[in-house]
Amino acid sequence: MKVLFLGVGEAFDEALSNNAHLILSESTILLDCGYSIPPSLWQYNDNQSFLDAIYISHPHADHYFGLPALLARMWEGKREKPLTILCPQGTTEAILQVIRLGYSGILERLAFRLDIIEAEEFNSITFREFTITCAPTSHSANNFAIKLENGMNKICYSGDGMFNGQTERLYADADLVIHEAYSLDQDIPGHANIKDLIQMAQRNRVKCLAVTHLQREFRKHEIEKLKKECESAPVDIIIPEPLDEYVF
């Protein structure tokens, strides 16, 4: 199994695609689908049956506005394989609305079954080879972090938001936590910073922390400082570039 960091940018970064990642195992799962993600995905793999599921962490444009284009190209490509969209409890309507706004009537024309499943806090779901568990973060929209376990490895992804007690419980003993970070050490409401993340990862015995969704000015001006900080950190930290892979 491997994780491919498809996009590592935040919402308004002119240089990088939105934050989104691919879980490549027996099944292929896309974690988040912001407005700049469809071209990045098609460049990587343009087979319209490539994805088995899409996880939407929360209804912000840089995490789910890519859905209309993705589904419309699947329709054009005559996809027949069922597709699952997993999202936090209470998010189905927002997802249907954005698809309908983008391409009205597309949902009725799809030649494949589209299942939208809402995850409930700590109520695990089995999806193919994975047990999937979700927990809320602290963000300006209802955001769930996700944990995927296949009996061998535990991968977590924050979506957006500062971790809290529930998310720490979810991340405990994970092999990889992909987490958003908006600054090195400043407290920014609704987002995490690197210093707090390092302490959290150490507290929860996280094997590797991948920091993405870095605020664009922070990435531009403080990346060298961040790399130094990571080198001396007591936990294993990576700062992925687009299309980097983490292999288990």
Do residues 53 and 30 lie in contact, with contact meaning Cβ atoms separated by under 8 Å?
yes
At its nearest, how many Å lie between Zn ion and the CB of residue 46? 25
* Selected binder of Zn ion within 21, 25, 62, 197 (CB under 5 A): 62
* Selected binder of Zn ion within 21, 60, 154, 191 (CB under 5 A): 60
Q: Which is nearer to Zn ion, 74 or 134 (CB)?
A: 134
The number of helices, as runs of H, and strands, as runs of E, in the chain is 8, 14
At its nearest, how many Å lie between Zn ion and the CB of residue 210? 15
Q: Which stretch binds Zn ion (CB under 5 A): 38-46, 53-61, 65-73, 103-111?
A: 53-61
At its nearest, how many Å lie between Zn ion and the CB of residue 14? 15
Q: Which is nearer to Zn ion, 139 or 147 (CB)?
A: 139
What are 6-9's contacts with CB under 8 Å, separation 24+? 6/30, 6/37, 6/40, 6/41, 6/44, 6/242, 6/243, 7/34, 7/36, 7/37, 7/40, 7/242, 8/212, 8/213, 8/214, 8/240, 8/241, 8/242, 9/36, 9/213, 9/214, 9/216
Give me the amino acid identity at 179.
H
List, in order, residues 6 or more apart from 221 with CB less than 8 Å away.
Answer: none
Q: Which is nearer to Zn ion, 13 or 62 (CB)?
A: 62
At its nearest, how many Å lie between Zn ion and the CB of residue 76? 28
32 contacts Zn ion (rule: CB under 5 A): no
Q: Which is nearer to Zn ion, 19 or 25 (CB)?
A: 19
Strand 130-136, strand 144-149: pairing? antiparallel
What are the backbone dihedrals phi and psi of residue 210, each rounded to the nearest 5 degrees, phi first? -110, 120
At its nearest, how many Å lie between Zn ion and the CB of residue 192? 12
Q: Which is nearer to Zn ion, 60 or 154 (CB)?
A: 60
At its nearest, how many Å lie between Zn ion and the CB of residue 48? 26
In the region spanning residues 138 to 197, those forming contacts with Zn ion, defined by CB under 5 A, are 160
For 217, the 3-state DSSP assignment is: helix
Q: Which residues bind Zn ion (CB under 5 A)?
A: 60, 62, 160
